[in-house]
Amino acid sequence: MWAGVCVVVFLCVTGVVGVGMLYPRDSESREVRNLDGMWNFRADMSPTRNAGLKAAWFKQPLAKTGPVIPMPVPSSYNDVTQDISLRDFVGWVWYDRDFFVPQDWQNRRVVLRFGSANYYAIVWVNAQEVVQHNGGHLPFEAEINKYLHFGGSNLLTVAVNNTLTQHTLPPGTIQYQADTERYPDGYFVQNLQMDFFNYAGIHRHVRLYTTPTTYIDDVTVTTNISNGKAGIMQYQIDVGGSAQGSSIKVDVEDKDGNVVGTSTNFTGTVTVANANLWYPYTMMPNSPAYLYTLKMTLTSKAGTDVYRLPVGIRTIQVTDSQVLINNRPFYCHGIGKHEDADIRGRGLDYATIAKDFNMFKWLGVNCFRTSVYPYAEEIMDQADQEGIMVIDESPGIGITQDENFSNTSLFHHLEVMDELVRRDKNRPAVMMWSVANEPGSDKGISIPYFKSVIGHTRSLDPTRPVSFVSNKNYIDDKAVQFVDIICFNRYYAWYTDTGHTEVIQVQMASDMDGWRSKYNKPLFVTEYGAGSVAGLHRDPSSAFTEEYQVDFMAEYHKQFDSRIGKDLVGEMVWTFSDFITAQGVKRVVGNKKGVLTRQRQPKPAAFLLRQRYQALINRTAH
């Protein structure tokens, strides 16, 4: 009921140029107000889940429609209460709260912005619909001036539906059971095509922000290096509102606020002499992750708009066997993770962000993959600031059924990549776009699908490599031909030959040789891992013990060491910490492949990884 019909086969849809969604930042001309906190909440428990839409709950305060409970925003509603029906709820949930807008905002542009809501959202202000958004994990916003009561109280209502269909990302299906002798009347379940819990709700910040009526709508920055010293910033600024007669001043400021470059063009180049380059912290321990500030000052009849964008000067190149950062070889000793905030589902949590980045540094991690959906902008900010590279991945997991490759699914996937690139295109930490994880890339129908998605992503950003993560054999994969770096997941001695770590080196060597001989592209092992239950021991080791996880990883490391500097450009253990999945006989309260527990306590495998990664940092050359 959400997705429209599309006749695209493998064409690129219109790009995102001029349709900006800059992260809200305070400035001399902009004001940001946070609407986080305790909201009123109600799940639509009707059999059809649409009683709230039919009765137009948005026309009055939610408390007048029936019982409500307090719900923190941002958060996943699943883990907040002791109600099992809410933990596993599928369908529409409703939120509302009051907010005030000062009278002096009336002559300004007022924008309502959601960091993300999972999965489909409808937003009303004072009983008038202002925006709908299809897709979790990425921001959406709307200008709301015409709906507001300036100088008075306003009612904000949000309906969120977490139902996954064959055309969502990730996809899923609803299964109804008609046998009333075995199931209650109207019984249904959400079947998932992913191996993690379907957390839902308003997951990230809700904000109001203001700009002048003529404003900086978007900016795209690409960087280069000249003669090894000079930093080159090429930029394009798009203006919203009435741009006639407007002018721009662009200042590049260093960390101390000194202006080191200036321009007065909407599209132009600024050169920074003797630039401090942005490096991952493992490549430049004394001065990593240097960020300049691109200060843009727009002057128009509507007044002055100022926006500041952090910018790192760095280049990324891919050869047939290496990734080069600023013309120097980079080897990723990384980790895959979920944006899973210990016991708080997937809601934004600053303490967990700080803890995770401290654990990255403790382990010696210099890159991570946003498995398997885009993470919060605040996490990406931290990666920019701390010098940790990111494989930025779309929520394209579970694309395995024929209908998942349909034109409707394709069009939505292209839209998602538009939104992801628009959001993260200026981030120095983003080293690569990943359009999917473990899709059915052995199917013939995957060829036009991924040719389109990868080609479209590359057209949006030609400065970074594009890939997807394969779990297919090099003989059978039909779509990896389109990628720049071959990313693949392998679980030898776990899902196959369980318990037999002696097969790992042989099977990995054969696999990697096959990829190289067929495609001659750099290799990146984006997942390998074994589950371990914290505190479970056996000697000799066996599956699910902490000892087995260590033995398992050590065998993979031997094979990786033989390929570093030849064709392997990165390794990522799966996974950073244990995480919750749907219930099933293969999982005991979630996935236990973490080198840390869900509460971020290290298992023995974490100490093995720390020893390895710290040694890699200390090498003079990889």
CATH of the domain at 235: 2.60.40.10
pLDDT the model gives residue 349: 87
For residue 109, being part of any structural domain is answered with yes
For 212-226, 235-249, 273-287, 555-569, which range has the lowest pLDDT when averaged over its residues? 273-287
pLDDT the model gives residue 618: 86
Sheet holding 31-34, edge to edge: 31-34, 206-211, 109-114, 140-143
Same-domain check for residues 447 and 344? yes
For residue 537, being part of any structural domain is answered with no
More confident residue, 156 or 191: 156
Confidence of residue 620 (pLDDT cuts 50, 70, 90): very low
More confident residue, 269 or 193: 269
CA–CA gap between residue 241 and residue 261 (Å, rounded): 27
Nearest to 417 by CA among 370, 364, 365, 457: 457
DSSP for 78-131, please give it.
Answer: GGTSS-HHHHT--SEEEEEEEEE--GGGTTSEEEEEES-EESEEEEEETTEEEE
Structure tokens at 550: 């260590």
CA–CA gap between residue 78 and residue 203 (Å, rounded): 11
Q: What is the mean pLDDT of residues 213-219?
A: 97
Residue tagged active-site, from 438, 527, 555, 571: 438
For residue 601, being part of any structural domain is answered with no
Structure tokens at 81: 């209460």
Same-domain check for residues 388 and 292? no
> Does the annotation mark 438 as catalytic?
yes
pLDDT the model gives residue 434: 98
* CATH for 340: 3.20.20.80
For residue 184, being part of any structural domain is answered with no
pLDDT the model gives residue 363: 97
Q: Over the stretch 232-249, which tens digit does the pLDDT of each residue have?
A: 999 999 999 998 999 999
Same-domain check for residues 400 and 512? yes
* CATH for 74: 2.60.120.260
More confident residue, 161 or 7: 161
pLDDT the model gives residue 340: 62
| Number of domains into which the chain is organized | 3
Q: Over the stretch 568-613, which tens digit does the pLDDT of each residue have?
A: 999 999 999 988 888 888 888 888 899 999 999 999 999 999 999 9
For residue 411, being part of any structural domain is answered with yes
Asked if the model's pLDDT at residue 621 lies above 60, the reply is no
Structure tokens at 111: 């924008």
Same-domain check for residues 395 and 509? yes
- Burial track 426-449 (b if 16+ CB lie within 10 A, e otherwise): bbbbbbbbbbbbbbbbbbeebbeb
For residue 546, being part of any structural domain is answered with no
Same-domain check for residues 206 and 218? no
Reduce the secondary structure of 421-435 to three states and give it as a string: HHHHCCCCCEEEEEE
Same-domain check for residues 350 and 308? no
Same-domain check for residues 152 and 255? no
Structure tokens at 151: 């100088």
Residue-range definition of the domain harbouring residue 286: 213-314
Same-domain check for residues 218 and 205? no
Asked if the model's pLDDT at residue 52 lies above 90, the reply is yes
Q: What is the mean pLDDT of residues 356-361?
A: 95
Same-domain check for residues 522 and 478? yes
For residue 170, being part of any structural domain is answered with no
Q: Which of 314, 345, 361 is the last residue of a domain?
A: 314
Same-domain check for residues 237 and 275? yes
Straight-line distance from the first to the last Cα atom of the chain, in angstroms, rounded to the nearest whole number: 52
Same-domain check for residues 287 and 148? no
- The amino acid sitting at 233 is M
- Is 278 within 8 Å of 186 (Cβ atoms)? no
Q: Over the stretch 530-553, which tens digit does the pLDDT of each residue have?
A: 999 999 999 999 999 999 999 999
pLDDT the model gives residue 619: 76
CA–CA gap between residue 617 and residue 326 (Å, rounded): 18
Asked if the model's pLDDT at residue 44 lies above 80, the reply is yes
Asked if the model's pLDDT at residue 491 lies above 50, the reply is yes
What are the start-end ranges of the E strands in 287-439? 292-300, 303-311, 316-318, 323-325, 328-329, 332-337, 367-370, 389-393, 430-437
Helix (H) or strand (E) holding 195: none
Burial class (CB in 10 A: 0-12, 13-18, 19+), 51: middle
pLDDT the model gives residue 182: 93
Report how far apart, in Å, the C-alpha atoms of 301 and of each of 31, 56, 247 are. 19, 41, 10
Q: What is the mean pLDDT of residues 196-216?
A: 95
pLDDT the model gives residue 16: 32
Same-domain check for residues 118 and 247? no
For residue 205, being part of any structural domain is answered with yes
